[in-house]
Amino acid sequence: MAGLQITAAAPDPALLDLPWELPLEEWPASRIAALPRGISRHIVRFVRMSDQVIAIKEIAEGTARREYQMLRMLGRLDVPSVHPVAVISGREGRDGEPLEAALVTSHLQFSLPYRALFSQVLRPDTATRAIDALAVLLVRLHLTGFYWGDVSLSNTLFRRDAGAFAAYLVDAETGELHQELSTGQREYDLEVARVNIAGELMDLQAGELLEIDVDPLSISEHIMSRYRSLWAELTETESFEAGDRWRVAARIERLNDLGFDVDELSISTDLDGTRVSIQPKVVDAGHHSRRLLRLTGIDAQENQARRLLNDLDRYGAESDQQNEDEEIVAHEWVSQVFEPVVRAVPRDLRRKLEPAEVFHEVLEHRWFMSEQQRRDVPLLEAVGAYVAGVLVHRRDEAAFLGQDTSPLDAVESL
């Protein structure tokens, strides 16, 4: 241990208590968190440390340091990705032989690798929603100038997001950060994604986790069309007649609906001023998430935030506060609506789903109950029915601790 080196922005002393003198695959079961792992070129384990779970990957020191720095840069760019904790180098076994370095990252709570997400038979629409999320992530990465080089479902984690999914980058080992990506670089990433996704879906089909009549090739093609339509909406120039200036606001609204803020627009006219062209200059994801955080302090995924903001608007209308300051209405909504729903969930069930996802599902359950019973079901009544009939049967997505995950070993690639 004398030569052990820890590179970290904020080193946790608990790192020193881990058995770095042992190869990772020989670490005692008491240290290992029973989380689903994936197919990887390297040995990967989830480990309990203090009051958190970390992911450890054994890898060559130079590669570990490069990926650590890349993940830190992506974090500063606010790209959805795992958080790097440390690089451990200078490891020696008990026999004095050198051991590979280790990259340590935080475990992303409430996230699932794609095989765990689809541990039941995968429906085509579920696969499509996951690929939609991956397409959005890939667009965000490309907008920041990040070339991934190994786009796949396996290298991605998914969090539930109000009926959809939000995707997070897990593996930055092959990534490169540029000032701007060329069309060729973007298209290569897209082709890698298409091929990898097709292979992963075929693997699911072979394991009887994908319906036999589903065509993995056609589903994998979906990322191509989804990516290109989103990229065009975010980056292409739009031209229209000078009298149709309303289309400037319409373009901004469409981008906001996609979850992107527009910090600047480039607007130009032709020589005789009869046609106007607009192009977004700076686009940033998280429009609804930032608005919800500003108004309420609730940190949620983009679709969750959109759903919560819709309920906030509904509350303002029903309480006749449309002309009231929205921050005052938001504070009242949190204390009168959101928090009572969260508190109504028994403490032992609160690790099933994130509070924002629980609130979304309660709203969905309330709508179904009202349809079935042909009456306006009170929110707290819907919470009780949801907890008893739905939430108790959900698996714990905060950490998945203590479960037998052996069938899911071929899951998350770090």
Q: Give one DSSP letter per residue of 306-373, joined into a string.
A: HHHHHHHHHHHHHTT-TTS-HHHHHHHHIIIIIHHHHHTS-GGGTTSS-HHHHHHHHHHHHHHHHHHH
Nearest Cα neighbor of 12 from 106, 93, 131 is: 106
Q: Beta strands of 129-249 (E only): which ranges? A: 146-147, 156-161, 164-169, 176-177, 238-241
pLDDT band (50, 70, 90) for residue 273 = low
pLDDT band at 258 (very low <50, low <70, confident <90, very high): confident
The Cα 175–Cα 91 span in angstroms is: 26
pLDDT at 399 over 60: no
**Integer Rg of the chain from CA:** 24
Neighbouring residues of 214: CB distance < 8 A, sequence distance ≥ 6: 122, 124, 127, 201, 205
The pTM score is: 0.72
- Model confidence pLDDT, tens digit, residues 136-191: 899 989 999 999 999 998 899 988 877 778 899 999 999 999 989 999 999 999 99
Which residue is associated with the tokens 């020989």? 26
pLDDT for 374 equals 87
How many beta carbons lie within 10 A of that of residue 144, not counting itself? 17
pLDDT given at position 401: 39
Predicted pLDDT at 21: 94
| Separation of alpha carbons 336 and 311, rounded Å | 12
Q: Phi and psi for 306 in degrees, rounded to 5?
A: -60, -45
Cβ 345 vs Cβ 383: under 8 Å? yes
Question: Backbone phi, then psi, for 313, in 5-degree steps?
Answer: -65, -40
Structural domains in the chain, sorted by start: 5-107 (3.30.200), 112-235 (1.10.510.10), 238-285 (no CATH), 300-393 (no CATH)
Q: Enter the tokens of residue 155.
A: 């290298």
Residue 354: is it exposed, middle or buried by C-beta count within 10 angstroms (0-12/13-18/19+)? buried
